[in-house]
Amino acid sequence: SSTVSVFVVSPDTHSERRYDLHTTIAQLKGKLETVTGIPVSNQKIGVYKGEDDTTPIAILDDDSRPLGYYSVVSGQFLKVQDTNPSLTLTGQFTDVSQVEKFELTQEEYEKRQDTVKTYKQAHKMGRFAPKEDAPLPPTSEQIASEMPIGSRCEVVAENGITKYRGTIRFVGETEFGNKTGVWIGVEYDEAYGKNDGSVEGKRYFTCPPSRGAFVRPKRVTVGDFPPEDLGLDED
């Protein structure tokens, strides 16, 4: 094909253009002036493989040569620099450092009624939305009603796998374990426990040694759990 599709990049513009390879560089500069706003006399044109490349493949510096002389192919970039930007204002339309900024102090911002913050406050959005109260933990009375003393139960061990059966003998707060929260005192069917219903000299219930344990309610399930048949009965 005698035409190529290239990207024209200047300080203020970025576009894709098609040019005939027989177009001379002088003619190309005339076309680029209408695209970039850079006068022909101020143009320096480099051919680049990629937009972020800093080393040009070629510099189009001979106005009498055709574009094809420089082996330009589709997909390449023609970067047009302004050799005298002070006269043409090139780049000044995209240089935000020269734009006067409108600034408010925090106090002034808080007084305004047309800000995003006041809108969110009025419509109770984001961090201004009403917070739902966290559910209160169940009381000793509530737990006791769900896990009555004397109920049969199954307790999940700390490993989350093993389960032990027993009978609930105590429900309430204790003087151990930071003295917070409700504990369930269980008398196991077998010697899986750690005590006889007393801890640190205070008795909460009575059972044979090594069959008592205190666990949190979340590890206890109340239900019809008959004593396990461990196969220890003699014929």
> What's the mean pLDDT in 181-196?
95
Domain covering 140-222 in this structure, CATH number: 2.30.30.190
- Residues with Cβ within 8 Å of residue 7, at least 6 apart in sequence: 14, 15, 16, 17, 51, 75, 76, 77, 78
In the chain, pLDDT over 90 holds for what percent of residues?
64
Query: Is the pLDDT at 176 greater than 70, yes or no?
Result: yes
Instruction: Report H helices in the chain.
Output: 25-36, 85-88, 106-111, 116-122, 140-146
Maximum average pLDDT range among 178-187, 199-208, 226-235 = 199-208
Structure-token pair, residue 111? 């007084």
User: Which of 155, 152, 181, 154 shows the shortest CA–CA distance to 167?
Assistant: 152
Q: In the chain, where does the domain assigned CATH 2.30.30.190 lie?
A: 140-222
Q: What is the mean pLDDT of the chain?
A: 88
Per residue in 120-168, pLDDT (tens digit) is 888 888 888 887 777 777 888 899 999 999 999 999 998 889 999 999 9
Whole-angstrom distance, CA of residue 28 vs CA of residue 196: 99
Per residue in 18-41, pLDDT (tens digit) is 999 999 999 999 999 999 999 999
- Residues with Cβ within 8 Å of residue 129, at least 6 apart in sequence: none
Whole-angstrom distance, CA of residue 167 vs CA of residue 155: 10
Whole-angstrom distance, CA of residue 78 vs CA of residue 16: 10
Task: Give the CA distances from residue 113 to residues 24, 102, 104, in Å, rounded to whole numbers and listed in that order.
Answer: 60, 17, 14
CATH topology of domain 3-88: Ubiquitin-like (UB roll) (3.10.20)
> What's the mean pLDDT in 86-96?
60
Task: Give the CA distances from residue 183 to residues 49, 145, 198, in Å, rounded to whole numbers and listed in that order.
Answer: 74, 14, 13
Task: Give the CA distances from residue 120 to residues 9, 15, 111, 128, in Å, rounded to whole numbers and listed in that order.
Answer: 42, 40, 15, 7
By three-state DSSP, how is residue 48 classified?
strand
Q: 89: pLDDT confidence band, cut at 50, 70 and 90?
A: low
Note if the pTM is more than 0.75: no
- Residues with Cβ within 8 Å of residue 41, at least 6 apart in sequence: none
If one counts every other C-beta atom within 10 angstroms of the C-beta of residue 198, the result is 14
Query: Is the pLDDT at 106 greater than 90, yes or no?
Result: no
Per residue in 48-63, pLDDT (tens digit) is 999 999 999 999 999 9
Query: Is the pLDDT at 228 greater than 70, yes or no?
Result: yes
Structure-token pair, residue 19? 């040019």
Helix (H) or strand (E) holding 22: none
Whole-angstrom distance, CA of residue 45 vs CA of residue 38: 11
Q: In the chain, where does the domain assigned CATH 3.10.20.90 lie?
A: 3-88
Query: Is the pLDDT at 80 greater than 70, yes or no?
Result: yes
pLDDT given at position 107: 87
Q: 231: pLDDT confidence band, cut at 50, 70 and 90?
A: low
Whole-angstrom distance, CA of residue 163 vs CA of residue 184: 15
